Structure 1
């Protein structure tokens, strides 16, 4: 999964009619969900629908990345879910209730081509963040905020989760993997709230966000993309730095040195993907 992924849209695995529509939603990645979104008595059906859709999929240069959220390792559906993920069109595998790096190592050994997205949604998972982030094949961590709040009996998704979000960002940076993915916003028809949630996650160091409805995608993408004002600032910083030959220089009355130039370069790279 490319580092340009900002939005990951869940699609219930037993609702195959939605797969193509999800690919046209503007999401950078679609997550075919075999876990929470699927009733227990339809797990096999969901897996079959996903496999059938993948078999008929024609992948071109364009289009979203394809990820599959499998059932947890301690469930009876896990092994067969992994088999579906071996399809060459699958870019990433999202593992729920990620707590044990050994499980990730085992999956990486079976599916070395597929990027792993550990979904951390329990206290045990957060306690082993550093080990999980450093496991082979892990591309980025994903924060399952709703399940995490339930596990710790936490009320609220803001300041209440700040410590855990920051730990996730730090563990990702230390492990040298991509910035983590923040959890879902439960609001569907409140664009301002969704964009605000995305902006908050971005300010904390996250690089993407989960979506549960196509209506959320545009706001999430916007929240994780540089604004025109930021792009303008970044270009002026790069131009000023080039003109000074790398010597310290001021832009908008503020000193520009190497870290500022690196930030400007990152902003411009982010703008290119819009």
Structure 2
């Protein structure tokens, strides 16, 4: 299901210690479910979480299911990746991804594609190698941990890092990256605002920590009807030569932007 991962907008985390939520999350409207063995699981519960993962794996899930393992080099990573090899998730989410070697090690151990979670300064400066590592499907942005690593408290201070992920995704011919979580779970305005900002920065999706955020993220990434109407008029006017729509000259970049808007609108249906 790596093709689905390339276009997914909403990515919903579920703790591996809550197996009763696996199937519910998969049927709840999110494009991807991330079963979490890392931050959502206390150190004392890691082994129990892996047992729950194996015993309650959502085989019949209607959407891709991926697993966030513990970081390479931690005591839990080897067992997490071995569990993934047996379960064959759509991909593994690799936290604290900091090098191409990290990505390749995770892919080899899990026998799966990798979604690097960029959440450290070292990961940022090594993006060139990370995106070039063969098994990478898409970049994910770990904004909270990155802010801690950089010592910043204002989320806007992370915008240059967002631009780095977008830029290197393009260079690596990867889909648009996925933005980090909004921690204000039920603050609908904040989720909408964060989603709109992520889209404006060139992201193609967003991580969610509660099901209530999923439809808000979809709405934030869906193009407004006015944009869809404009895109249709642009394509209708395009004849490969000089043309204008709403007083704007139509050239190749404008036509391609119109096509992208219509693709986004089709996915949002």
Normalised by the length of structure 1, the TM-score is: 0.92
Instruction: Find the aligned partners of 1:103 and 1:165 in 2 and give their Cα distance.
Output: 21
Instruction: Find the aligned partners of 2:60 and 2:178 in 1 and give their Cα distance.
Output: 27
- Cα offset for 1:208? 0.9
Between 162-171 and 79-88, report the one with greater CA deviation: 79-88
Correspondent of 2:251 among 240, 257, 268? 257
Counterpart in the other structure of 2:9: 6
Between 208-217 and 78-87, report the one with greater CA deviation: 78-87
SS class of match (1:232): helix
Gaps of 5+ in 1: none
Counterpart in the other structure of 1:98: 97
8 A Cα contact 1:66 1:89, kept in partner: no
After superposition, give the CA deviation of every residue in 1:57-100 in whole Å (9 maximum; x if it has no partner): 225xxx22111000111112211211222256511110011112
Give me the CA root mean square deviation: 1.5
- Cα offset for 1:25? 2.1
Counterpart in the other structure of 1:246: 240
- Cα offset for 1:52? 1.6
What is the 5 A alignment of 1:23-172?
23-54=26-57, 57-59=59-61, 63-87=62-86, 90-112=89-111, 114-158=112-156, 160-172=157-169
8 A Cα contact 1:30 1:66, kept in partner: yes
Instruction: Find the aligned partners of 2:195 and 2:96 in 1 and give their Cα distance.
Output: 23
After superposition, give the CA deviation of every residue in 1:190-215 in whole Å (9 maximum; x if it has no partner): 21210110110111111111111111
Asked if 1:216 corresponds to 2:213, the answer is: yes
SS class of match (2:160): helix
Between 102-111 and 209-218, report the one with greater CA deviation: 102-111
8 A Cα contact 1:108 1:136, kept in partner: no
After superposition, give the CA deviation of every residue in 1:193-242 in whole Å (9 maximum; x if it has no partner): 1011011011111111111111111111111121211111111111111x
Correspondent of 1:193 among 186, 190, 194? 190
Instruction: Find the aligned partners of 1:28 and 1:227 in 2 and give their Cα distance.
Output: 20
Count of matched residue pairs: 265
Instruction: Find the aligned partners of 2:215 and 2:245 in 1 and give their Cα distance.
Output: 32
Instruction: Find the aligned partners of 1:74 and 1:89 in 2 and give their Cα distance.
Output: 22
After superposition, give the CA deviation of every residue in 1:139-168 in whole Å (9 maximum; x if it has no partner): 11111111111111101112x111111111
Structure 1 runs of 4+ with >4 Å offset: none
Query: Quick one: structure 1 residues 103 and 58, their matched pair in 2 at CA, closer, same or farther if it must change by over 3 Å?
Result: same
Gaps of 5+ in 2: none
Instruction: Find the aligned partners of 2:242 and 2:184 in 1 and give their Cα distance.
Output: 45
SS class of match (1:273): helix
8 A Cα contact 2:82 2:109, kept in partner: no
